[in-house]
Chains A and B, each alone.
Chain A
Amino acid sequence: MANMAQAIRMALHYAEENLGVTDVFGEDTGAPLGGVFTCTQGLKTAWNSPLDERGIIGCAMGLAFAGQRPVAEIQFVDYIFNTVDLLKLAGNTCWSSNGDWHLPMVVRSPAGSGIRGSIYHSHSFDSWATRLAGWKIVMPSNPLDAYGLLLAACKEENPVLYLEPKALLRIKGEERIPGEPADDKQLSKMIDAPLGDRSQWKPQWPALEAYVVPIGKGKTVREGDALTVVSWGRLLPICVKAADQLKEVGLSVEVIDLRSLWPYDWELVKGSIQKTRRVLFVNEDTEVTNFGEHLARRTTDELFYELWAPPRVLAGKHLPGIGLADPLEMASVPQLKDVLEAMRHAASLQP
């Protein structure tokens, strides 16, 4: 199976060929590197930009104004912070012009911890992003969803922020992308750029097919009846692992992959909470004014009298950064043991 970086690359290739994507660009996005995580290797519209994040977002907006379909990349989401007012501007362009303009543009950026990336290669942007009204925000947790969500993003007429959980970019999927060859080695040979001189290399793209994960649609990845756990991105597979472990000791946990943070699949979340009467929201962004808090507040507002326990949020610590040393990172963002403990605790609460 393809890993997430390959899935993203194949989605961008499909989008170049079939969805009108005109520019895949950012720092080191074009040849020879094809992205620091290899996500843009071999793409015909990929090009390298100046090391200027504001210029990247601004250029994407300009391209979209002029009828192009750009997919811009911010190399690490830690570096998107100096573009926030441009992101705000992109998000309010349709609204402020009373519908006169709209911006079909995608911004991709690797986010979150898990690669021992220290203070400026580990940050999350999930919660910040959800404050950017006018943007659609997605974050896949596996290669097939990465492919499907990116196709959906490239078909969108509005700005889409596509957050890539960087710790999962090298993880292979469990489901095949339509058109992906059966043999992983064959896929690698076809689309992974060789080491060394790449000047003559050209990818051999498989005959990819459309597969769209609609923006705004979550997915129930484990069914259970004692507790609902809602997560996304890097912590989703950790939640699944924890749920599987707890199932072995008789605790039945339902796990929802939100996939889209805005708009989000409230009906799916709500239905699950009404079934289990307990909910835990898990993500790795810092915990104060965390998006999980919004979900917890909405749960309280709408489902208070149906709950058997207060909604819980497990998130990253409210710290200025994520330290490099292993114990520092592990103490900063939720780990498997933290998720297990939070699940057990949430499931144990009684009215």
Chain B
Amino acid sequence: MGGRTARAFPGLPPGAGLCLSAPRMSRPQPKLVKTDKAGELPLDRALLVQMHELMVKSRVLEERLIQMYKQGHGYFWIGGPGEEAFNVPLGMLVKKGRGPAYDFLHFHYRQSATLMAMGEDTVGALRQMKNTASDPYSGGRNFAGHFSKSAWNIVPVSSPIEVQYAMAPGTALAQKRHGGDAITIVTGGDAGTAEGDFASCLVWSTRPGNELPVLMVVTHNTWGISTASDTQQANRDISERGRAFGMKTKRINGNDPVESYLELQEAMAYVRKERKPFLLQADVSRLYGHSSASGANFVNAEVDCLAAFEQRLEGAGVLSRAEMDEVRKRWTEHVAAEARQVVQEPPPDGESVWNHVFWEKA
């Protein structure tokens, strides 16, 4: 089997086989070779194992968040179970850091798997669900899945479904001015592309002579809350909208982590090198509905990207069922232990509402 070297990768619980909790020092650069057994999976075995583990980590986290909501340990849940096959590779390929020399990330609220793949600990999301004072993303002020992390250029996720597309050209402009290969990545769902900010991003990223290094991502789950997308938007392929602006575009199967990894790698390489935008549509599933407002129950009718990937991994001999069960068990226990701790943590003090209305030098 090719590419045997186990890579250190982030965000796994202590004691995990491949995993190390130390930050990754560089982005994975897999050899695109076919493995002996995993002939249909044209990625390095270690990378496949890593992707699987991160998908499990993300899924277990989201399912724990849903459980916390249902147990009364949070007021609202929204997240990204069903998008792991796309969001994990995205996180693995991010150039992570602070400032214009690193990728800027304008996410929407289904992006937990990307953070997990970037090496984020699971406990922060649990704290945000429980709205504890220790919530690292908002100090108990915002919903689950509304991440913020300036150390990694993750700008605050907000509930409006479109605003991130309006802001993305600004960070990309700063990056282009700065030089280097850092890019701006903006994500949103298909329903949000009906908003004008999506068009703003198309326009501002392609001003003649001032094209910007923006990777525009649309994760298309065919739903806008309860409304089917094909009843509202005539354009079946949203990526085609980029062509009118001379953008490179592609529509991919976001339920396939291998395809997602390879296509993201290619799209990101283009944006990094050419300093021009790329519109990527990834078709994904929405496995627990829109949010807790719609019940947050598992949806059987849609492709479960994790189950499908596990079948392929097993079929190709990359991982056995027992090994994969062990991964899930390990993460389940890890996250459950964190949740037990988090539910004991205090909420923010009421007087803290006055903190950070304005930023002041320390």
Contacts and interface: CB of A to CB of B under 8 A. Distances in A.
A192 B289 CA distance: 59
B143 to A, nearest CB: 10
Interface stretch (B23-31, B61-69, B89-97, B351-359): B351-359
Interface string B94-132: 000001100010100000000000000000000000000
A96 B155 CA distance: 11
A52 B146 CA distance: 27
B166 A59 contact: yes
B158 interface: yes
Contact of A102 (B184, B203, B359): B359
Given A55-B169, A55-B204, A89-B158, A63 B174 contact: yes
A306 interface: no
A158 interface: yes
B163 interface: yes
Contact of A65 (B149, B170, B203): B170
Contacts of B167: 58-59, 61-62, 65
A100 B200 contact: no
A131 B138 CA distance: 22
Contacts of B357: 94-95, 133-134
Contacts of A23: 173
Contact of A54 (B158, B197, B360): B197
A94 B359 contact: yes
A170 to B, nearest CB: 32
Contacts, number: 139
Interface residues of A, number: 37
B168 interface: yes
Contact of A96 (B148, B170, B172, B173): B148
Interface string A60-72: 1111111110100
B3 interface: no
Interface in B151-177: 153, 155-156, 158, 160, 163, 165-175, 177
Contact of A94 (B146, B158, B163, B356): B356
Given A58-B163, A59-B173, A134 B358 contact: yes
A272 B158 CA distance: 43
B182 to A, nearest CB: 10
A273 B111 CA distance: 54
B361 interface: yes
A50 B173 contact: no
Contact of B100 (A52, A66, A95, A134): A66
Given A58-B197, A133-B357, A96 B150 contact: no
Interface residues of B, number: 46
Nearest to B362: A99
Contacts of A55: 166, 169, 197, 200, 203-204
A50 B173 CA distance: 14
B156 A58 contact: no
A54 B166 contact: yes
B173 A101 contact: no
Nearest to A90: B167
B340 interface: no
Interface in A67-108: 67-68, 70, 85-86, 89, 93-102
B200 A54 contact: yes
A52 B169 contact: no
A157 interface: yes
Contact of B170 (A63, A95, A97): A63
A89 B162 CA distance: 12
A99 B133 CA distance: 13
A50 B6 CA distance: 49
Given A89-B158, A101-B155, A62 B173 contact: yes
B243 interface: no
A86 B168 CA distance: 13
B353 to A, nearest CB: 9
B156 A100 contact: yes
Contacts of B204: 49-50, 52, 55, 59
A57 interface: yes
Contacts of A96: 138, 141-142, 146, 148, 156, 158
B99 A67 contact: yes
A66 B212 CA distance: 14
A58 B356 contact: no
A95 B171 contact: no
A70 B328 CA distance: 47
A271 to B, nearest CB: 24
B4 interface: no
The interface centre, meaning the residue of B137, B158, B166, B207 with most chain A CB atoms within 10 A of its CB, is B166
B148 A101 contact: yes
Contact of B166 (A57, A93, A98): A57
A66 B174 contact: yes
Contacts of A64: 170
A346 to B, nearest CB: 34
Given A67-B99, A98-B148, 19 more contacts: A52-B204, A55-B197, A57-B166, A58-B165, A58-B170, A59-B167, A59-B170, A62-B173, A65-B167, A68-B170, A89-B163, A96-B148, A97-B137, A98-B355, A100-B148, A100-B150, A134-B358, A157-B360, A158-B358
30 contacts: A23-B173, A50-B207, A52-B200, A54-B196, A54-B197, A55-B200, A58-B165, A58-B166, A58-B200, A59-B167, A62-B104, A65-B153, A66-B99, A66-B104, A66-B171, A66-B174, A68-B177, A70-B170, A94-B357, A95-B141, A95-B355, A99-B139, A100-B137, A100-B148, A101-B148, A101-B150, A134-B358, A136-B358, A157-B358, A158-B358
4 residue pairs, one from A and one from B, having the closest CB atoms:
A62-B170, A58-B166, A102-B359, A66-B174
Interface of B: 99-100, 104, 106, 135, 137-139, 141-142, 146, 148-150, 153, 155-156, 158, 160, 163, 165-175, 177, 184, 196-197, 200, 203-204, 207, 355-361
Interface of A: 23, 49-50, 52, 54-55, 57-68, 70, 85-86, 89, 93-102, 133-134, 136, 157-158
